[in-house]
């Protein structure tokens, strides 16, 4: 119940294309869903986050789509660029007293020029 | 504003030894969380400290411990190191307990290798 399942494990997209990464969860107590971007040798950096009372959030080329009934959320990267090549992690936080972030397994994105 | 700093950046230890890792949060941040990152298990939550008190703990053995000082700096200790403890240990800080209103900022991590 504490898991967040992320897919695909790796993704190759041409420059200008759309990258889509999906995550699914079981715990209905999760109340915060951030996405992190991690470059080699660096710590994860918050990219965009959403709460379950919102179905979509857009920031620049990055959009989170959230489907509460299906318990799924996804990251869309529009007009993907080679500089977007990184590992992306979805995460979820339980709204109970635990507050800890549960991370997905990560998606390695490669954007070809 | 300086980011989260972790020291040392790289560490090599042998089985059975103990290790202490240090994390300095962003100025003004009172919460520090620790995560273990490995290729097999991904990012796993270790514990979170807020105002010198451990608020949350992940599913790790008692060999993993931590503490937070009055200036919010935090240390993590691993005793009796095992080969499987080789990982990138990440520290993240936030103003309050990590969540929708308190974004977590990660440090670059400490790469621990256990031989």
CA nearest A93 in B: which residue?
A: B99
Question: Among the listed ranges A64-73, A94-103, B22-31, B104-113, which one has the minimum average pLDDT value?
Answer: A94-103
| B35, B48, B107 member nearest A99 (Cβ) | B48
The B residues from 31 to 50 touching A (CB cutoff 8 Å) are: 33, 35, 42-45, 48
Residue B105: list chain A partners with CB under 8 A.
45-46
Interface check for A29 against chain B (CB to CB < 8 A): the answer is no
Dihedral sign of CA atoms A50, A108, A106, A38 in order: negative
Interface check for B98 against chain A (CB to CB < 8 A): the answer is yes
Other residues' Cβ atoms within 10 Å of the Cβ of residue B88: 17
Q: Give the three-class secondary structure for B112.
A: strand
CA separation for the pair B52, A3 (Å, rounded) = 28
**pLDDT tens for residues A46-89?**
999 998 889 999 999 999 999 999 999 999 999 999 999 999 99
Tokens of A49: 């986050």
- Chain A nearest-CA distance from B113, in A, is 15
Number of helices (H), then strands (E), in chain B: 0, 11
**pLDDT tens for residues A90-110?**
999 876 656 678 899 999 999
Other residues' Cβ atoms within 10 Å of the Cβ of residue B48: 28
Interface check for A54 against chain B (CB to CB < 8 A): the answer is no
CA separation for the pair B51, B72 (Å, rounded) = 7
Q: Return the pLDDT at A59.
A: 94
Q: What is the DSSP letter of B43?
A: E
CA separation for the pair A99, A32 (Å, rounded) = 10
């Amino acid at each position: 119940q504490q898991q967040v399942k992320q897919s695909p494990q790796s993704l190759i997209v041409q420059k200008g294309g759309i990258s889509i990464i999906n995550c699914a969860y079981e715990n209905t107590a999760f109340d915060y869903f951030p996405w992190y971007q991690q470059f080699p040798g660096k710590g994860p950096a918050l990219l965009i986050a959403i709460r379950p009372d919102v179905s979509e959030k857009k920031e620049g080329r990055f959009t989170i789509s959230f489907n509460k009934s299906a318990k799924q959320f996804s990251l869309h990267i529009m007009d993907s660029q080679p500089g977007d090549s990184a590992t992306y992690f979805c995460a979820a936080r339980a709204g109970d007293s635990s507050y800890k972030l549960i991370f997905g397994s990560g998606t390695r994105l490669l954007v070809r020029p | 504003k300086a980011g989260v700093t972790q020291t040392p950046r790289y560490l090599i230890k042998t089985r059975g030894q103990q290790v202490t890792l240090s994390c300095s949060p962003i100025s003004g941040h009172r919460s520090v969380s620790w995560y273990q990152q490995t290729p097999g298990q991904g990012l796993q939550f270790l514990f979170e400290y807020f105002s010198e008190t451990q608020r949350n703990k992940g599913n790790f053995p008692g060999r993993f411990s931590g503490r937070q000082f009055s200036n919010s700096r935090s240390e993590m200790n691993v005793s009796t190191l095992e080969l499987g403890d080789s990982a990138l240990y990440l520290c993240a800080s936030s103003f309050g307990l990590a969540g929708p209103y308190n974004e977590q900022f990660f440090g670059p991590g400490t790469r621990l290798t256990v031989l």
